[in-house]
Amino acid sequence: MLSLPPISTPTRQLLTLITRSIETLEASCQSSGTTIPNLHSAFTPPSQAFRSNPGAAEAARIIAAAALQLEAIVSPLQVSLYHIIGGHFKSAALCVCLESGVTEILREARPQGIHVRDIGAKNGQDPEKLARFMRFLATHHIYREVSPNVFANTRISSMFDTLKPSAEILADPEHKHDGTFGLAALASHHLDETCKASAATVRSGDPTAAPFARPIGRPETIWTYYARPDERFRQQRFGIGMGGVRALQPPDAILKAYDWSRLELAAGSLVVDVGEGVGTSCFLLADNFPELKFVVQDLEGVIRQGKELWSTKVPAVISSERVILQMHDFFTPQPQNGAAVFLLKQITHNWSDDIVPFACHDPDAEEGLQEAPALLLANYGATNDMAYNTDLIVRVFFFLIVTSAHGCIFVELLARTGWEFVTVRRQPGDSTFSQCIEAKKTEDSL
């Protein structure tokens, strides 16, 4: 009997898109000698190497977006709703595990896993309650239930590993994040301050006030809160967590943000890193461009932390004064004159005007803005969650934020302050963070 060709339904169209994209991804990995990561293997930055090929990164992005859209079509509606409604339960479950060293205990137990009663014996958690939390997370591939009540890490849960002995971090939680690459600190920050601020967004009151001001009982933003002497732990955790953002981006992201080699023509060119924290971006820049000089600027507590970090990792760079860490509030006049480049990394979104793309296809989108294939949400759906998370994080920590999907907001902002927009340096494969905007001083503002 002659079979008829399948009817082209949305589900089959999505399946075709996934299949073709998987073929593209596999071919790219084969030619580049990279592999698609194993969900049950520990996360390491090199495991992201397959994304260095723009074609592979785009294929992976399409696969994820199409799979999520397919899930939205075929899943029971109540299941889809509770992915969102129950989000606070996932946060609570992860917070319990994160703060009680579960990931470290599982790493020490090796891939075969460890029974929840033995985890409880190490971290003091009630085994029955802990099993419920971990099973809920395992349902979303954060941890893995190897056999009844026996759990192991997955690629996702291993991202929270401080790589320290579990006994050490449980005995001294205040210094748990010191010397780590920061992903656990970043998660801990979001599960603490960010959760508290988010819970306050629905309360009535001054609509221009930062929701974060409500749970702390003062009309403050996160920065004034961190400046309190009794919040030094949270301030340091935040600084370490911002360093962890690097592990979530392509390793060469900062190198592609600008044509730094242009500055090498003038030895001693100065790069001023404004308000970025302890200056982790400059680590890579200083290593790759030895002729450049750097000034890293931030508030007093952050700079103190930065000096400790730089003095430990690269003391020669500090002693030679090729990198200077300087206390500076960027709302006051800039003390550095004659800089070749001012680097503002992940700070402009903390104030007024943030930029996120529309979820629909926009015929008036700025030139060069990449949209997903027409079958998918234009912004690649939940695979682009990080941009929207950042948007809402800023909204709950600070005062009223004006959000726009149009890149012209930054062009106008630059023009008002004496800068001329040059270009957007988009980085293929990095769909989780904002892209780079290059601008130069206008002639009449020099």
Tally of residues, the chain: 446
The model's pLDDT over 131-142, given as tens digits with 9 standing for 90+, comes to 999 999 999 999
**Which pLDDT score, from 0 to 100, does residue 94 have?**
97
pTM check: above 0.85: no
- Rounded CA separation 64/383 (Å): 7
Closest CA to 101 of 204, 202, 196, 176: 176
Q: Are strands 419-425 and 436-441 parallel, antiparallel or unpaired?
A: antiparallel
Contact 264, 291 (CB under 8 A): yes
CB atoms within 10 A of CB 289: 18
Residues taking part in catalysis: 349
Contact 354, 398 (CB under 8 A): no
**Which pLDDT score, from 0 to 100, does residue 193 have?**
92
Contact 85, 174 (CB under 8 A): no
Contact 100, 160 (CB under 8 A): no
Q: pLDDT truncated to tens, each residue of the chain (446 aa)?
A: 445 556 689 999 999 999 999 999 999 999 999 999 999 999 887 888 888 888 998 999 999 999 999 999 999 999 999 999 999 999 999 999 999 999 999 999 988 999 999 999 999 999 999 999 999 999 999 999 999 999 999 999 999 999 999 999 999 999 999 989 889 999 999 999 999 888 888 765 666 677 888 888 888 778 888 888 999 999 889 888 887 776 677 667 788 888 888 776 567 789 999 887 778 778 888 888 888 899 999 888 788 888 888 888 888 888 888 999 999 888 788 899 888 888 887 666 554 444 667 888 887 766 556 788 989 998 888 888 877 777 777 777 765 444 444 445 566 667 777 888 787 776 665 555 556 778 888 766 55
Question: Which residues on neighbouring strands pair with residue 273, listed in sequence order?
Answer: 296, 343
Burial classification of residue 36, based on how many CB atoms lie within 10 Å of its CB (0-12 exposed, 13-18 middle, 19 or more buried): middle
Closest CA to 270 of 217, 323, 202: 323
- Rounded CA separation 291/386 (Å): 35
The model's pLDDT over 236-263, given as tens digits with 9 standing for 90+, comes to 898 888 877 766 776 677 888 888 887 7
Contact 434, 346 (CB under 8 A): yes
